[in-house]
Amino acid sequence: MPVLPGAEPFRHEGGEVGVLLCHGFTGSPQSLRPWAEFLAERGLTVALPLLPGHGTRWEDMQLTGWQDWYAEVDRELRALRERCTRVFVLGLSLGGALALRLAAKHGDEVSGVVVVNPANKVHGAASYALPVLRHFVPTVGGIASDIAKEGVTELGYDRVPLRAAHSMRNFYRIVDGELPQVTQPLLLLRSPQDHVVPPVDSARVLSRVSSTDVTEILLEQSYHVATLDHDADRVFEESYSFIGRLAPGVGERSGAVQAGQQEGTATGG
Catalytic: which of 23, 166, 224, 230?
224
**Residue 202 annotated in active site:** no
Q: How many CB atoms lie within 10 A of CB 240?
A: 19
**Residue 93 annotated in active site:** yes
Catalytic: which of 93, 167, 202, 211?
93
**Are residues 114 and 95 in contact, defined by beta-carbon separation less than 8 angstroms?**
no
Q: 239: which residues sit within 8 A by CB, 6+ positions away?
A: 35, 39, 90, 114, 187, 189
The secondary element (H helix, E strand) that includes residue 205 is helix 199-208
Catalytic: which of 194, 201, 229, 231?
194
Q: How far apart are CA 245 and CA 248, in angstroms?
A: 6
Which backbone phi and psi does 243 adopt, to 5 degrees? -65, -45
**Residue 211 annotated in active site:** no
Which backbone phi and psi does 40 adopt, to 5 degrees? -65, -40
Catalytic residues: 93, 194, 224
